[in-house]
C-alpha cells in the first residue's frame, strides 16, 4: 500500500510530554510515526515528525482538531502538512 506521509511540526517551549501526547493522538487514529527529529532553533524547541496516514481513516483536518487542544494546553504551535508540498519545494 502506498504511503500517505504528513509532516507534523511542533514549535514552542520545551516541556515534558510533548512527544507523548502527540504520539498518543496519532496512535488513536492508527497513524504510524516514520521518523522524528528535534532541535533547539533560535531559542525554540522544534520537532518535526514524519507520519504515515495510509492506514488511518482520519483526515488531516481531523488530526488538526485533535492537536488544537494540545496546542492550547501546552502553548505550542503545531502544523500538519502533507509531504507533497515539501517535495515540490525542496526536490527537483
Partner 1 sequence: MEYSLEEVMETVRMTLYHNFDIRTVTLGINLKDCIDTDIESFKSNVYDKVTEYGKRLVSEAGKIEDKYAVPIINKRISVTPVSLIVESCKEDAPLEIAKTLDMAAHDANIDFIGGYGALVQKGMTRADSRLIDSLPEMLSSTEQVCAFLNVGSTVSGMNMDAIIKIGNILKDIASRTDNGIGCTKFAVFSNAPEDNPFMAGAFHGVGEPDFSLNIGISGPGVVRSVVEKNRDCDLTGLSEVIKRTAFKITRAGELIGRELASNMEVPFGIVDISLASTNKVGDSVAGIVEMMGIEHIGAPGSTAALALLIDAVKKGGAMASGNVGGLSGTFIPVSEDSGMNEGVRSGALSIEKLEALTAVCSVGLDMIAIPGDTPAETISAIIADELSIGVVNGKTTGVRLIPVPGKVAGDYVNFGGLLGETYVMNVSSFSSRDFILRGGRMPAPITSMKN
Residues that bind partner 1 (CB under 8 A): 7, 9, 11, 35, 37, 39, 41, 46, 48, 50, 59-61, 64, 77, 79-82, 84-86, 88-90
* Cα–Cα nearest to 69, from 11, 25, 27: 25
In the bound complex, what is the minimum distance in angstroms from residue 35's beta carbon to partner 1? 4
CB nearer to partner 1: pick between 37 and 73: 37
CA 83, CA 76: separation in Å to the nearest integer?
21
Tell me the closest approach of the beta carbon of residue 30 to partner 1, in angstroms. Answer: 19
Amino acid at each position: 500500500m502506498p504511503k500517505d506521509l504528513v509532516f507534523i511540526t511542533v514549535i514552542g517551549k520545551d516541556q515534558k510530554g510533548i512527544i507523548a501526547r502527540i504520539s498518543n493522538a496519532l496512535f488513536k487514529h492508527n497513524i504510524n510515526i516514520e521518523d522524528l527529529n528535534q532541535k533547539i532553533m533560535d531559542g525554540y524547541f522544534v520537532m518535526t515528525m514524519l507520519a504515515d496516514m495510509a492506514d488511518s481513516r482520519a483526515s488531516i483536518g481531523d488530526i488538526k482538531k485533535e492537536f488544537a487542544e494540545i496546542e492550547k494546553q501546552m502553548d505550542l504551535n503545531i502544523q500538519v502538512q502533507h509531504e507533497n508540498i515539501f517535495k515540490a519545494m525542496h526536490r527537483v
